[in-house]
Structure 1
């Protein structure tokens, strides 16, 4: 896709219903406190501003389930990337996908799609400075120069578009200030980890033109070890740098051009979690088969070197023009990446994949916002997205070439949307809108079929919300919304049938009721939500045995559906000055319905037959029943310095990471033989189940002035995962009946570190 062609296209486009008791008490508490929410003291949580609905609104006035995460919450515990958000917001998981570059598996409210391939669309939309990142690769972002982070739970198909059926993580970086200033930070921590980060703002023309320069460096020796040599494995070295140029010629026109580049080199090693009965188990070194799912995950039976690199560059132009009755916003973005990774998936070199690929995306959004009449405001717009990618994978089995995958994909998406707020009564507001999306995808599989395959889909995704404010301390709301994720083709298909057979879009209908309340004169906010989701035509990735040189292929099928229900709570409380407490609780109950797919069953003699298997009884992936987060910090003035003590605890219940049938029932299937009646699979492979996690983080930091001109320094000591809770961060079974092999990647063990930063 040429940038000229993109420019032409861009130009064309240019908790159940709550009773009166819950709202009467906060109002009475505010009155007793003798202060309004806007004038109560050092921190009024109700004044946190969010842009969840493409408008600047107070968090407590926005009828959406949102967790607003302040940058200070992350800085005090040495947070490095988006993965450290896991568990902070209710019902949200974030893990790193090891077979891709800076790739993330993200789940919200039990909806996820865990795959690195660029032919598959994420279920959670990641937006950085209003730009959608169209693939899971590149989503594992560095956190430093961040202004705000918002986690929007539930489908956001009206304003944020397709592929946001689970929710959105909306990240805004700081804007160039056009005044001289900046901040720098150096960090050292366990496993040879060193971080150097800096941002500086330089004025060029006073109040008219300014430049922000940024540079982030991160390196680590890794926390896995080679069994034979004891040498650390999993090294990474990444650079992210660029400039943002802000031009504000008038009070009504504001333009920011951001140019950035990311360079990363890394090693990608996996631990063997194969067990007796897996095909590769008989060929693995002694000790590599039958290990445990805790300490053994940190040991690697290295067979080959596993280098990788990821190089990306991006340009974004954000223009805001206040034209009087209408405010216009234009966001134009182009992103291009090149990556290459060689990895051995826990087989001591017996199965090695060599995966070079390229990807680029272009997007253009035009938004119009204003007031149609008193009490009625709107946001409307047009959106265009286009991407191209190519994967050319070579696979080696037992050292010999075993074929490969060459896929060339192209996608286009057009959309128009409108969203409105109508103040029907003084205390009642009706909100809603809709988005019409049309998607086109086409693919070529030169090694498998000659013809190009393609298909087009379209969908209208509406949303309706009614909220009621019985008093200044309470807002009750109810929402119905629909989300949609585009269909596509299986990018790792190994047979002509799988390559030419598309999978269909999936959709959700979500029903939500909630309450946002303020207590104690604004010192405490308590937000609760209850939701029910009807999930249809679920896109489910599955690795099955296949008559190919690799012995398997990855395909996507549409499972029949699922029902998901749950509750969520966000609490923020400042009982006394300088003490801040936060808590989040999420509960999710999700079940498949009518999930039947065809699975090849290979007998010991080598013969195979296709059997319909009913997976309705297995657990959906990345859907823990409980997520709990408790955080607190207390600041103590000591002379000219402020010392802050921080603690954070996160609990994640056990959850499955893949639809992979338990190999223990293989013998039962063979004994039953071919059957016209679908046979029930009672559970997933126990090895793909992550154990419950108890994650404790502690830190102490001191902030003090360095001179009289406003330069401040901060010294922080931190410990992450203090309890050294070990287990799998990612676990995967390759093929089924029989299983070929199984691998996993461990989560970060206990880490100690310190950082020193200066802000001026």
Structure 2
């Protein structure tokens, strides 16, 4: 049934003009907040795409970097059903995203590189940057994006110019900034499960040419829609019921003030606040039957959980920045000072089911809590002005983040009088990460058609984790945590650099080549302290990346960009399981990868716009000495392991290890396809009727380090539809929409020990209204 549904959908999309879709990749300037169809309604061409991938505003066709752009309006379309930044997954070639800890912990992967670690202090090789501020902690990476102008995805190492070294790439969110003309915009939608979204912004001058303001806000809500069918007596007070999981409330606001006291000085002061409450990820225990990959038998909207109070989570985040630019004529000095703080928790039934339904065995719940987190960043950058043959920029960057994180295990939550109750079953950690770097880049046009660019950065990255409160037994007696592991410090000192060449074949086509070296600093995994086992650590990893590409726009109606790449990550940081099923860090000798990615935008006539993107990648872990613990419960392997295995003892417990040499990196899809088409039908001089559709598909994706018959996804499909009316001037739009219209149930994550599955978002059908006022 599932295969026939996909075949019908793909055949329909191949009919092109009969199946409309929305243009997905950027087809409007970076400062333009309208969709491609609205922005270019009076023009049969695609328009220029402007990016800041090299910290300057440039045409995307002349940037020697593999970069994709999603416009703000297109992102809001993908999020109309209540989705967050994970909606980008499958919309950009080479980009993948998932979570197993709810909306507060997204994990991003670019060109197959990411991190499956669910630890609150996990290091990620993909860097998130919002309005030029790097967001390092995993909770900060979940800061919602709203009132967005453009999203840029920079693929490959980006160590030279951006705040933190990254081996995989950068996702850069740029919101609409204050301007000297009053304007506003809003997008509102309402759909299934009382899913409501309101994304709006308004701004303009307070004192003409001197002070401007912009106020932006986001509200998202979904009712609980998943039933907890458990009817027994819970040992921690959890109660079943109808519609008790799956909902969320997201409330966010941002205020920006732009001061321009002189023509050469501008200061943008920004502050934001976030309040979030919702449900953490729901794990469906036993959804993956041993030896099978079929998840269709497990209902998405029902589960029996006997612990964890129906998986609540909530966070509050505050932050601000001062972005000042002083133009000296020959050069501009930019200073970016930023502060972020957050606190909150996430609790979950980690076995994903009621023990009574599984022979009375297997109970588990945990909670991660950030008591306090403070992140300070400071960047100074001096960059040449003008459009001459020689361009340069130099600067420095300082990063400081400190947090207090706690982890609670099952015994802490049990009711008074329970024989297994242990109110001391929790730990507290203090984490400190400081880093400084100096960097520079120069670009020189050697000939009329040839430009060379080179950049370099030197970084020192220091990390320290201290166990300040160890777990104890119920009586409160002294813990037995190893003294030598209570305070761990790691330091990484590495250069990063890149060299690229861009050659203009003719005014419609450019080719480029790029070599880049990057690194990710060392990592400490402290969560294992809650099981009274030592911290695990991983040394710095380094990457050498090579890519070449072509950027063409033969006519104003057609644009095609493509690139091929290969890379090697030495001492790659990986994450597996220990004897408790808890994440543990280790390094493998290296991992190799090669692949291609391409994006096509085409407007054959004024009323039709197509976009098509795709990527293919091969990744391979290379280290015959590295083994990963496999799925196991009660001393028994619970899945079908396809790799060679050996028995072992870990922390005094029996285990089975699999050799992972030659395996693909986890969550690295072999291929991805995204397609979109939009068809506008003029009705009169008052407006247009439009129909649109967008699709993304995902090839074989292994979700763990070892190969099994259960823990992978293959052929995942999601389709969106939208139909409505736009006024002739493009100011208003009213539409009906559907996200995941076929209600595909796709596997997005697993909990290995319990053969538990994590599913994608359900079908959301609704209506939307948007408007803009200039």
Q: TM-score range, shorter-chain basis?
A: 0.7 to 0.9
Answer yes or no: is the 8 Å Cα contact 1:297–1:744 preserved in 2: no
Equivalent residue in structure 2 for 1:368, among 374, 378, 382: 382
> CA 1:61–1:104 in 2, change beyond 3 Å: closer, same or farther?
same
Could you state the TM-score of these two structures normalised by the residue count of structure 1? 0.83
1:179-233 CA distance string (max 9 Å, x none): 3332233210111211223322153211211221122111102443323544252
- Superposition RMSD on alpha carbons, in Å? 2.9
> CA 1:234–1:595 in 2, change beyond 3 Å: closer, same or farther?
farther
> Match of 2:265?
253
> Match of 2:561?
527
Q: Name the CA distance, whole Å, in 2 between partners of 1:629 and 1:275.
A: 28
> Match of 1:139?
141
- SS at 2:538's partner residue? coil
Q: Name the CA distance, whole Å, in 1 between partners of 2:500 and 2:389.
A: 16
Q: Name the CA distance, whole Å, in 2 between partners of 1:164 and 1:375.
A: 29
C-alpha displacement of 1:248: 1.1
Equivalent residue in structure 2 for 1:636, among 681, 689, 714: 681
Equivalent residue in structure 2 for 1:89, among 89, 92, 96: 92
Could you state the TM-score of these two structures normalised by the residue count of structure 2? 0.82
Answer yes or no: is the 8 Å Cα contact 2:287–2:298 preserved in 1: no
- SS at 1:749's partner residue? coil
Q: Name the CA distance, whole Å, in 1 between partners of 2:659 and 2:79.
A: 45
Answer yes or no: is the 8 Å Cα contact 1:46–1:58 preserved in 2: no
> CA 1:51–1:391 in 2, change beyond 3 Å: closer, same or farther?
same
1:262-309 CA distance string (max 9 Å, x none): 00011225233338999xxxxxxxxxx999466434422122312221
Answer yes or no: is the 8 Å Cα contact 1:186–1:756 preserved in 2: yes
Equivalent residue in structure 1 for 2:698, among 652, 660, 665: 652
Q: How does 1:17-28 map to 2 (within 5 A)?
A: none
C-alpha displacement of 1:531: 0.4
1:467-522 CA distance string (max 9 Å, x none): 21121111111111012111021121238996455310111111101111111x32
> Match of 1:55?
56
Q: Structure 2 stretches of 5 or more lacking a match? A: 1-39, 231-240, 356-362, 415-419, 471-480, 637-646
Instruction: Spell out structure 1 runs of 4+ moving beyond 4 A.
Output: 43-46, 275-278, 371-374, 495-498, 598-613
1:427-476 CA distance string (max 9 Å, x none): 11111111111001111013235552212111101101112112111111
| 1:432 aligns to 2:432 (yes or no) | no
> Match of 2:573?
539
> Match of 2:747?
728
C-alpha displacement of 1:711: 9.7
Answer yes or no: is the 8 Å Cα contact 1:76–1:700 preserved in 2: no
> CA 1:47–1:180 in 2, change beyond 3 Å: closer, same or farther?
closer
Moved more, 209-218 or 71-80: 71-80
C-alpha displacement of 1:234: 1.3
Answer yes or no: is the 8 Å Cα contact 1:511–1:531 preserved in 2: yes
Q: Name the CA distance, whole Å, in 1 between partners of 2:77 and 2:530.
A: 51
Answer yes or no: is the 8 Å Cα contact 2:427–2:530 preserved in 1: no
C-alpha displacement of 1:598: 5.6
Answer yes or no: is the 8 Å Cα contact 2:228–2:304 preserved in 1: yes
- SS at 2:401's partner residue? strand
| 1:478 aligns to 2:513 (yes or no) | yes
> Match of 2:4?
none
Equivalent residue in structure 1 for 2:546, among 507, 511, 516: 511
- SS at 2:106's partner residue? strand
| 1:597 aligns to 2:597 (yes or no) | no
> Match of 1:759?
772
Answer yes or no: is the 8 Å Cα contact 1:544–1:554 preserved in 2: yes
Q: How does 1:333-412 map to 2 (within 5 A)?
A: 333-345=338-350, 346-348=352-354, 350-357=363-370, 358-370=372-384, 374-396=388-410, 399=414, 400-401=420-421, 403-412=425-434
Q: Name the CA distance, whole Å, in 1 between partners of 2:200 and 2:506.
A: 45
> Match of 1:703?
726
Q: How many residues align?
A: 672
Answer yes or no: is the 8 Å Cα contact 2:125–2:169 preserved in 1: yes
1:232-261 CA distance string (max 9 Å, x none): 521101100131111111221111111110
> Match of 2:25?
none
Q: Name the CA distance, whole Å, in 2 between partners of 1:275 and 1:199.
A: 43
C-alpha displacement of 1:574: 1.2
Equivalent residue in structure 1 for 2:249, among 222, 225, 237: 237
Equivalent residue in structure 2 for 1:494, among 525, 529, 540: 529
> Match of 1:736?
none
- SS at 2:61's partner residue? helix
